[in-house]
Amino acid sequence: MTREIRLNAFEMNCVGHQSPGLWAHPRDRSWQYKDLEYWTDLAKLLERGRFDGVFLADVLGVYDVYGGNLDAALRHSAQVPVNDPLQLVPAMALVTEHLGFGLTASLSFEHPYTFARRLSTLDHLTKGRAGWNIVTSYLESGAKNIGLAAQGAHDDRYDVADEYLEVCYKLWEGSWEDGAVLRDKERRLFTDPRKVHPIRHEGRFFKVPGIHLSEPSPQRTPVLYQAGASTRGRRFAGEHAECVFVACPSKAVLKKAVAGIRAAVAASGRDPRSVKIFNLQTIIVDETDAKAQAKYRDLKQYISRDGALALASGWLGIDFSAYRPDQPLRHVESNAVQSSVEAFSSADSSKVWTVDELADWIGIGGLGPLFVGGPETVADLLEEWIEETDIDGFNLAYALAHETFEDVVEHLVPELQKRGVYKRDYPQGTLREKLFGKGPRLSETHVGASYRDLTRISAAQRLSAAE
């Protein structure tokens, strides 16, 4: 029997997100993204469907590669306008009890000292349901708008990320000992100063001498997501990630990506099964195959080709306006999302994509595959992909907000539950406990756990310097 299928909802604080042009459909709600009710309605719907979490994407920048400007992105709302995702989470947490929240936040644009406090605050407010999708950003426009000459090279950004995580681990795991917070009203002693330690970090990219500003949150370190399956990204994921998000268009490409990620986890001394891997997926489901196919034909009328290619140009770092519609996509070295370039131009894929085919593919659901059918058809496909690729679940993008998720909850979830491959209720505890069935803290084999004893680390550093 297939192991339990995990589902996240893939969302973004913008219009359309992964399906450019479909905001114009009369039943779509994504233009209401500015309203808090849009997000609280979504959260309650997802919890009713026993989703593990909502995975909130984000970009700091605009998709201006296509045609050398951002006109197409603006015309077709290709992830612009876009608002900050963090403020959404407390409101969604307030109307739910179990739903997890994977927040995308780029470490390229914020110092780890201030960022660590933001995530601790979020973990407190959600009672331990916070996760962080670690990204290094890929849009040149974002770098330029905070005063950088250009985005750093792809692999160099991961070097910065390694040290960034080291700082965060020291703050989250090591700065405040267990038992540092006493809240002793009789002695009027809130915190024991002897159990709070400055981290004294001096590295290549960051210098952080002081203590963490927040008391330990329920998970201390939020659940760590990583959204990249490039060669360098896999190495980073092998050391740091607890959940990995990929976007592979075929089973052959996905199977290879999953094997590479699990091998990287094993190379870091961790159990390769300890990491949950999710592939991007869009599902159009209805009571029957015929109704689902009719719905799909209706949705296709609203696809924006230019909007799709604006997204593709940003994701792959290739200006598709300079290509003929029937021109094949070949591997191009770029500074954008390397895993996406590899997935759509890899020699391991049996398909050679043309620019027009890529636009059609992205038009509904982005880079991931699209399944259309009744509950039994779609459930069969999900089980097949799980069994043949070794993934753990899916990040579901919507075609129409919130209709796509309503259809999944109403039609697909009961079929998966009937098959015994989807939970009927949530386990108790934090997001980490719900996902992995263990404690709220990072596992002892995770690199972050090695920063829990800062006194020992400082002594080892002094000894090394003396030698």
Question: What would the mean pLDDT of 366-370 be, rounded to a whole number?
Answer: 94
Confidence band of 347 (pLDDT split at 50, 70, 90): very low
What was the pLDDT predicted at 138?
52
Q: Which domains does the chain have, with CATH numbers?
A: 6-466 (3.20.20.30)
Which residues make Cβ contacts (< 8 Å) with residue 183, sequence separation at least 6? 190
Question: What would the mean pLDDT of 33-46 be, rounded to a whole number?
Answer: 98
- Does the pTM surpass 0.85? The reply is yes
Q: What is the DSSP string of 196-227?
A: B----EE-SS-EE-S--SSPPPSSSSPEEEE-
Q: What are the pLDDT digits (tens) for 407-455?
A: 999 999 999 999 999 999 999 999 999 999 999 999 999 999 999 998 7
Q: What are the pLDDT digits (tens) for 184-227?
A: 999 999 999 999 999 999 999 999 999 999 999 999 999 999 98
CA dihedral 374, 379, 380, 383 (to 10 degrees): 160
In DSSP terms, which residues pair with 11 in a beta bridge? 56
Rounded to whole angstroms, how far apart are CA atoms 351 and 249?
A: 10
What was the pLDDT predicted at 317?
84
Task: Determine the 3-state secondary structure of 182 from DSSP.
Answer: strand
Under 8 Å between Cβ of 77 and 27: no
> In this structure, what DSSP letter does residue 174 have?
I
Q: What is the DSSP string of 40-86?
A: HHHHHHHHHTT-SEEEEE--SS----GGGSSHHHHHTTSS-SB--ST
Q: At 60, give phi and psi (nearest 5°).
A: -110, 90
Question: What would the mean pLDDT of 107-116 be, rounded to a whole number?
Answer: 92
Residue 149 has pLDDT above 70, yes or no: no
Confidence band of 335 (pLDDT split at 50, 70, 90): very low
Q: What is the DSSP string of 320-336?
A: GGGS-TTPBP-----SS
What was the pLDDT predicted at 348?
47
> In this structure, what DSSP letter does residue 25 have?
S
Selection from 110, 104, 108, 109 nearest residue 89 by Cα: 104
What was the pLDDT predicted at 136?
81
Rounded to whole angstroms, how far apart are CA atoms 156 and 135?
A: 13
